[in-house]
Chain A
Amino acid sequence: MFEKFMLDPSDPIENVVRNGVIEGIKIKVRIPYYRGVMLALVQDAEVTVGDKVFSRDQMTFWVRGQEYHFEDMKTITSVRWEFGEKAELFVPLINGLPEYGPTSIRVGIQILVSYSPFNRMSYAHMNYDRSASGGVCR
């Protein structure tokens, strides 16, 4: 659901710099479901950048400026990821994205839908070019 719109290619992908070192990137993502949910229902995530695959527990989830580890989110019912809202996945991609040329990015999110027997990852894919998109390294 909403796979086509989970990623917005016009959103810049930021490099995350700590102590002068690029520790990874943050990718904005919208929910692949027709309503917002408590964080406990964000069951799984997966990101592939080029040929590197990152699983849920290597990443963190950011919503409205607050960082969460997926393991901790299992019990969080007081904070929601709203419908249409852009959350961010921090992906520990050392040295960040290359400055020029497209990079293939695939994001998967799985929401636990209690009434559905078909819970599975929803995937979205884009070719992202930092130099072309205005996604300037910050």
Chain B
Amino acid sequence: MAIGRSVSLYSYQQAYYLGQLDLEGCVAAAAATGAKGIELIPEQMPVGRFPNPWKQDVEWWKDLMAKYGTTPTCMDTFIDFRLFNRGRYLTLQEQVAFLERDLRLAAELGFPVIRVLCKIHFDVLEAALPIAEYYGVKMGTEIHPPVMIDSPYIDGFVDMIERNHTQWAALIPDFGIFARCSCKAAVEQQIRGGFSPEAAWLIHDQVEAGRPTEETVQKLIAMGAAPNEVAAARSMGGLPTYNDPAKLLPLMDYVCHFHGKCYELDEDCNETTIDYPGVISTLKQADWDGWISTEYEGQRLFHDEGCPDLADEVEQVRRHQMLLKRLIGE
């Protein structure tokens, strides 16, 4: 099928939160862009109830997919591994139990893949392989900033897949790992949050120019920046870490899905921070089959108190789908 276009309903979180779109409204908005795939976070927009929908909820969901000509692509899951906050993490067995809860729900709703957060250790996925096989649902671990493609974690994950000769564990790269810089709205939000404009733009410019983090930190310290500004430069806090798309090539056999992260689409339907042309041309070169889900996250940059503006999620998703369509060459 080559590359298919999907929309993660996460993209419409603001409209849903404010009661402007319900679950069907989100699916309708996604379908109106021409996307044929739907990605869902059931803990955000439950089908009936989470985690145990009634039979009629499941039927309603399947009818909904049929009505809009869409198909479920990926279901995003969470394991709250610090659930009881008693200074301990959930044990491996407890985490597997949550994974089973989510795999069962995904199978019920017709999702072939679940997204597992990158902070969940692959030991948990390895232990859950028989469960994933039983339900016929793949577990895709997200490659999300600050995780880099070249990392011991990804190497270990791939070793685990190979060791088990399994198709039930895979990778879901998030396009955020191909971001060259943060967008203007993100810098403006930092400034509203108390960063000095000089520090906020310095961090932005340094990242855009591909300068090393330590150099940025030293420059900030030299200009008398506040500790939280220095910490922001050091942390993942919205700061991109650019990976060369070519580094995907040896991993393509393990990639089951993509999150098309986006923050800001301009009027010409270009994403202003992420290397979309580079990544999509790599996927075409590898002849990769699968879905890319639009995951618009720029609305969040306008949600701080006192921010006068709001993002138009429906329009931003439409523009992102236009970008994908153009690059895929539909």
B305 on interface, CB distance cutoff 8 Å: yes
Given A83-B43, A84-B17, A115-B119, are A3 and B84 also a contact pair (CB < 8 Å)? no
A118 at the B interface (CB under 8 A): yes
Bound CA span A83–B18, Å: 10
In the complex, are the beta carbons of B44 and A3 less than 8 A apart?
Answer: no
If A5-B17, A43-B85, A74-B85 touch, whether A37 touches B80 (CB-CB below 8 Å) is yes
Give chain A residues whose Cβ lies under 8 Å from the Cβ of B194: none
Q: Give 1 or 0 for each of A33-44: 1 = CB within 8 Å of chain B CB.
A: 011111011010
Residue A19 at the chain B interface, CB threshold 8 Å: no
What's the minimum C-beta distance from A119 to chain B, rounded to whole angstroms? 9
Answer yes or no: A4 CB below 8 A from chain B CBs. yes
**Chain A min CB distance to B208 (Å):** 23
Which A residue sits closest to B45, measured CB to CB? A83
In contact, A112 and B16 (Cβ under 8 angstroms): no
Contact status A84-B80, CB under 8 Å: no
Identify A5's interface contact among B18, B117, B119, CB under 8 A: B18
Q: Does B202 contact A (CB under 8 A)?
A: no
Q: Is there an interface contact between A82 and B17, defined as CB atoms closer than 8 Å?
A: no
- Pairwise interchain contact A75-B305, C-beta atoms closer than 8 A: no
What is the CA–CA distance of A7 and B46 in the complex, to the nearest angstrom?
22
> Within residues 42 to 89 of chain B, which ones have a CB less than 8 A from any CB in chain A?
43-46, 50, 78-85
Q: How many angstroms from the CA of A77 to the CA of B84 in the assembled complex?
A: 9
- Of the candidates B44, B50, B303, which one forms a contact with A1 in the assembled complex, judged by CB atoms under 8 Å apart? B303
Kindly provide the distance from the CB of B152 to the nearest chain A CB, expressed in whole angstroms. 19
In the complex, A112→B87 CA distance in Å?
Answer: 13
Beyond A5-B17, A84-B18, A112-B85, whether A34 also contacts B44 by CB under 8 A is yes
Residue numbers in A under 8 Å from B305 (CB-CB): 3-4, 123-125
The answer to whether A114 has its CB under 8 Å from any CB of chain B is yes
Q: Is the CB of A118 within 8 A of B44?
A: no
Question: Beyond A74-B84, A125-B305, is A2–B237 a contact (Cβ under 8 Å)?
Answer: no
Q: Kindly identify, within residues 1 to 32 of chain A, every residue whose CB is under 8 Å from any CB belonging to chain B.
A: 1-5, 30
Q: Please, which residue of chain B has its CB at the minimum distance from the CB of A75?
A: B84
Main secondary structure, interface of A, reads: loop
Across-interface contacts of A112 in B (CB, < 8 A): 80, 82-83, 85
Q: Are A118 and B237 in contact (CB under 8 A)?
A: yes
B300: Cβ under 8 A from any A Cβ:
yes
Q: Which residues of A contact B45 (CB under 8 A)?
A: 83
Tell me the bound Cα distance from A136 to B213 in angstroms. 55
Q: Are A3 and B117 in contact (CB under 8 A)?
A: no
Query: What DSSP secondary structure best describes chain B's contact surface?
Result: loop
Instruction: Kindly state whether residue B19 has any CB partner on chain A within 8 Å.
Output: yes
Mask, B164-191, CB within 8 Å of A = 1, is 0000000000000000000000000000
Do the beta carbons of A114 and B82 come within 8 Å of each other?
A: yes
Q: Is there a chain B Cβ closer than 8 Å to A56's Cβ?
A: no
Would B18 and A38 count as touching, CB distance under 8 A?
no
Chain B minimum-CB-distance residue to A7: B305
CB atoms of A3 and B18 under 8 A apart? no
Question: What does the 1/0 interface line of B265-304 toward A look like (CB < 8 Å)?
Answer: 0000000000000000000000000000000000010111
Closest residue of B by beta carbon distance from A30 = B17
Complex: chain A residue closest to B84, CB-CB: A40
Report A-chain residues with C-beta under 8 Å of the C-beta of B82: 112, 114
**27 A-B contacts, Cβ less than 8 Å apart?**
A1-B300, A2-B303, A3-B304, A4-B302, A5-B18, A35-B78, A36-B46, A40-B85, A41-B80, A74-B84, A74-B85, A75-B84, A82-B46, A82-B50, A83-B17, A83-B44, A84-B17, A84-B19, A112-B85, A114-B79, A114-B80, A114-B119, A115-B117, A115-B119, A117-B235, A118-B235, A123-B305
